[in-house]
Structure 1
Amino acid sequence: MVTLNGNSLTFSEVKKVLYDRDKVHFSEDSMKRVEESRKAVEKIVSEERIVYGITTGFGKFSDVLIGKEDVEELQLNLIRSHACGVGDPFPEIVSRAMVLLRANALLKGFSGVRPVVMERLLDLINAGIHPVIPQQGSLGASGDLAPLSHLALVLIGEGEVFYKGKRTSAIDALTKEDIFPISLTAKEGLALINGTQAMTAMGVIAYLEAEKLAYQAELISAVTVEGLRGIIDVFDEDIQIVRGYREQAETAERIRRFLSDSRLTTKQGEIRVQDAYSIRCIPQVHGASWQALNYVKEKLEIEMNAATDNPLLFDNGEKVLSGGNFHGQPIALAMDFLAIAVAELANISERRIERLVNPQLNDLPPFLSPEPGLQSGAMIMQYVAASLVSENKTLAHPASVDSIPSSANQEDHVSMGTIASRHAYQIIQNTRRVLAIEAICSLQAAETRGKEKMATATRELLEEARKIVPFIEHDRVFSKDIEKMADWLKTQTMNFAEKKKNKTKA
């Protein structure tokens, strides 16, 4: 059971809720804050004070006053009109994350929703009812209006959900779980949709997958070092210390440990004096990506516990402030950084693949073919990797440098943070396939040289991977191999690199 209080949600807890399907509930203190905040909204309505989004319209309509007899219709119209997202839905795990993060933000007690709204959000999580939310249509300010409107629809019994492996109507799923839809009252519709939870939820899932992938990239690259009989000296601790970057040093340390008992690595001058940059600079390049990942994690942890709607209520409603916490710029920049960092893991991986298959760059069978000429071996796998990294370069163009005015120029600068998070996620999927290709090629090369000479850690990877993709003895449809390897990397709950890291800590 994970307890939400609006202030201290961690990545560890998020993983428990998302992947282990832990139940959630709210702390007593957080619900007290919600109740006090709600009283403030009701007082504003009864006194007919002019407060944005409570007794006024939205966006450019902020100057239109709404009578207290119409505040409920105002909220319902808001949700229905703003639920205009398009395109394929977010992955179900992202939808689950979105509900979790929106609930946590509202529990901070600055948004003015009723306790029943919190209860329904947690009901969705605990019952495994996940809104179907189209991916496209958010500018990332004022928050993720369109995506979160599709989430809010489910609370009122409209829209669609993912439930028990099927896509169905919200009311059908709610009925089966004995969950009653609610009618939104003053401020509640706005509080539900004026936030950054779509980009943040997508960002959280992207980060968790990228972190795992970064560890796997290190172990796969270690196998490539063996397959190419690479020079181990470049991972020496002294080289890393004088540069001064902790992440670079940590990457080099993990690779040293992976290869500590390998008989396939060489010393400088033994076969060659220097390796190419894609081998020699693994700590520097992978380490720089780790720096970016650490930055992204820090920003996401802040945003997961942030109040991001508008207006916000302070001092029991005596102080109601309209601001811009819904603006997604911090996450937009972080997602662009994540996209670039992961794209670089693919870039350097593709160069290592080239060195594994190019007969002019190694002493292995050309293209790792079992019968060069008659059989093409891994020749076109390198083409696929090159195509994926080229696509990544297009996707890595920063979304955050773009902005376009909306709401009759009232909202004249937006973040495009949700686009940034979606692009980062797509880059991660592409990069995993590139690393899958490197894994296939590096394992083929190392096994060709003699698996008995491989390090303990890399041989363990070989033995497990061979259950997924066998040794190449004859040309076959390698598309299946690539997808199987990529799926295997994605579904590993504890990858080999993390195991080695944990052993190191012990």
Structure 2
Amino acid sequence: MAAGFTGMSETAAKAYMEYINNDVNPLIPSRGSEGANDLSMATHIGLALMGEWDVNYKGKRVPAAQVRKELKLADYHPFGMDGISILSNSNVAEAQSVASVKKAEHYLVKLSPVMIATSLEALNGNVSPYLWHTVETKGWPQGHEAAEAVLANLKGSYLWQKDNKRYLQDPLSFRSAGYILAAAQEELRQAKDLLNSAINHTTDNPIVNTEAKNDLWYSKAEVLDEMRAGKPNVFVNSCANFDNTQLALQLESLTKALIQVMHTSAWRTTQLVDNHRTGLPTYLVANQNKGDGFANLAQSMSGLYAEAMGLTNSVLGYGVPTSIGIEETFSNVNLTADRLSKAVDVGYDIYSYEILHNAQAMDMRKEGGKKMGEGTGAFLQSYRKAVPFVDKDRVFTPDVNNGVQFLKSFGAN
């Protein structure tokens, strides 16, 4: 409506504005869209505006008619192009995409650099792959940004001091983590650019354009006269502006890149229980602990990892022709957005297992006189308020759950 190409009535815009200003949210099915348009989803917005469906109001699900009566809103009846403009678009899928991309942004930009930095301190790893002149020789987009974000958390860390026991080359899950994060951050950047373009343009069919170009080679063709609405540069055109194939492709690409970040996290975690790799006790068992420490903890993480890998399968293009065969292309962009959201959720789970191991190793190194970085040290201190050091075996499920909540809220303030 704000873009001005929908042809909706001013009454329709005001009716929707009244809901926004009074925090009235029409309830919309979360599933069931081809992605070519959100017919079954967006229809519920129109129904709610007409008082024939339910809304969320003051934290409760209530009939829209009841809320309209309470707020003394005038009856709304769609007129002209209102109906088709309300339902023939992909606005719901774009909203789902915005929410999913924001989740991915927190995971990849705010959280991942400090997580990688803590893993290096847990391992007694080598900072060499992250140095500016190392990254420069590769030249990948976002390479420097990702590497410098990791190193910024390691200011003052013991990793900048010589250590004859430190390996020259770490496992690739540590050594490649910066490049893999850079790849995901580049996919994120492209997704944000596409979304910014999408939400500032119309997804409607048909569209009304009152400032159409009239000097193109085909502008004088007689067929265009059938599309003009009174003036030479005013048109009503049939289109497929609800097609979001580019966005769906990009969200799938972002999901795959994000799960590659998750992949390195899971593998780093398995490396940290090996005393030959870390120089710390096997399974990170504390000196006073008579149990097995983290001996079998990664098995549940492995199951979550498999769940995440299943989300990389493409759903683009799947569908059944509808409307007597007129609608036979599909992007399933809302489903790609949902899968991205689910992938991020599993990513927090995987990171929770890793930080449980990283924090244990970091505390052990602190006991040995090693100093953590400014960023990683503060991260560890905050984490320890949610999950204490493992000095003896215990049920780890609460630790994993508390870790997830900590990670999701990190950097929120």
Q: Give the corresponding residue for 1:478.
A: 396
- TM-score of the aligned structures, taking structure 2 as reference length: 0.88
Contact 2:362 2:372 in 1 (8 A): yes
Q: Between Structure 1 and Structure 2, how many residues are aligned? A: 389
Instruction: For 1:186 and 1:278, locate their aligned partners in 2 and report how far apart those are by CA, in whole Å.
Output: 59
1:323 and 1:263, CA in 2 relative to 1: closer, same or farther beyond 3 A? same
Q: Give the corresponding residue for 2:156.
A: 261
Spell out, residue by residue over 1:35-79, the C-alpha distance to the aligned partner (whole angstroms, 9 max, x if none).
Answer: xxxxxxxxxxxxxxxxxxxxxxxxxxxxxxxxxxxxxxxxxxxxx
Matched, 1:487 2:399: no
Matched, 1:285 2:180: yes
Contact 2:100 2:337 in 1 (8 A): yes
Matched, 1:429 2:345: yes
Instruction: For 1:180 and 1:490, locate their aligned partners in 2 and report how far apart those are by CA, in whole Å.
Output: 42
Of the structure 1 ranges 165-174 and 211-220, higher mean CA displacement relative to structure 2 is found in: 165-174
Matched, 1:309 2:204: yes
SS of residue paired to 1:243: coil
Of the structure 1 ranges 175-184 and 451-460, higher mean CA displacement relative to structure 2 is found in: 175-184
1:418 and 1:293, CA in 2 relative to 1: closer, same or farther beyond 3 A? same
SS of residue paired to 1:400: coil
TM-superposed deviation, 1:364: 2.2
1:292 and 1:267, CA in 2 relative to 1: closer, same or farther beyond 3 A? farther
TM-superposed deviation, 1:367: 2.2
SS of residue paired to 2:167: coil
TM-superposed deviation, 1:237: 0.5
SS of residue paired to 1:207: helix
SS of residue paired to 1:313: strand
Name the amino acid aligned to 2:206: P
Matched, 1:340 2:256: yes
Instruction: For 2:371 and 2:160, locate their aligned partners in 1 and report how far apart those are by CA, in whole Å.
Output: 9
Q: 2:2 aligns with which of 107, 121, 131?
A: 107
Q: Which structure has the higher relative contact order (CA within 8 Å, separation 6+)? A: 2
TM-superposed deviation, 1:281: 1.0
Q: Give the corresponding residue for 1:498.
A: none
TM-superposed deviation, 1:351: 0.7
Correspondences of 1:207-226 after superposition (within 5 Å): 207-214=101-108, 215-226=110-121
Identity over aligned pairs, percent: 26
Instruction: For 1:379 and 1:180, locate their aligned partners in 2 and report how far apart those are by CA, in whole Å.
Output: 65
Contact 1:292 1:341 in 2 (8 A): yes
Q: 1:458 aligns with which of 373, 376, 386?
A: 376
Instruction: For 2:69 and 2:385, locate their aligned partners in 1 and report how far apart those are by CA, in whole Å.
Output: 44
Q: Give the corresponding residue for 1:274.
A: 169
Q: Give the corresponding residue for 1:413.
A: 329
- TM-score of the aligned structures, taking structure 1 as reference length: 0.73
Q: Give the corresponding residue for 2:213.
A: none
Instruction: For 2:160 and 2:281, locate their aligned partners in 1 and report how far apart those are by CA, in whole Å.
Output: 18
Write 1 or 2 for the structure with the bigger share of helix.
1
Q: 1:144 aligns with which of 29, 32, 38?
A: 38
Instruction: For 1:178 and 1:490, locate their aligned partners in 2 and report how far apart those are by CA, in whole Å.
Output: 40
1:485 and 1:163, CA in 2 relative to 1: closer, same or farther beyond 3 A? farther
TM-superposed deviation, 1:164: 2.2
SS of residue paired to 1:161: strand
Spell out, residue by residue over 1:345-388, the C-alpha distance to the aligned partner (whole angstroms, 9 max, x if none).
Answer: 21111011111224454322222233799534334432232222
Contact 2:126 2:159 in 1 (8 A): no
Name the amino acid aligned to 2:138: R
Contact 1:232 1:266 in 2 (8 A): no
SS of residue paired to 1:337: helix
Matched, 1:174 2:68: yes
Spell out, residue by residue over 1:467-500, the C-alpha distance to the aligned partner (whole angstroms, 9 max, x if none).
Answer: 11111123333222222221222234547xxxxx
1:163 and 1:267, CA in 2 relative to 1: closer, same or farther beyond 3 A? farther
SS of residue paired to 1:168: strand
Q: Give the corresponding residue for 1:122.
A: 17
Q: Give the corresponding residue for 1:396.
A: 312
Instruction: For 2:411 and 2:89, locate their aligned partners in 1 and report how far apart those are by CA, in whole Å.
Output: 31
SS of residue paired to 2:142: helix
Q: Give the corresponding residue for 1:16.
A: none
Of the structure 1 ranges 451-460 and 184-193, higher mean CA displacement relative to structure 2 is found in: 451-460
Q: 2:265 aligns with which of 344, 349, 354?
A: 349
Name the amino acid aligned to 1:174: R
Root mean square deviation of aligned Cα: 2.2
1:401 and 1:267, CA in 2 relative to 1: closer, same or farther beyond 3 A? farther
Spell out, residue by residue over 1:394-449, the C-alpha distance to the aligned partner (whole angstroms, 9 max, x if none).
Answer: 11112214343222211111111111111111111111111122122111110111
SS of residue paired to 2:272: helix
Contact 2:111 2:410 in 1 (8 A): no
1:231 and 1:310, CA in 2 relative to 1: closer, same or farther beyond 3 A? same
Contact 2:90 2:242 in 1 (8 A): yes
1:127 and 1:229, CA in 2 relative to 1: closer, same or farther beyond 3 A? same
Instruction: For 1:244 and 1:296, locate their aligned partners in 2 and report how far apart those are by CA, in whole Å.
Output: 21
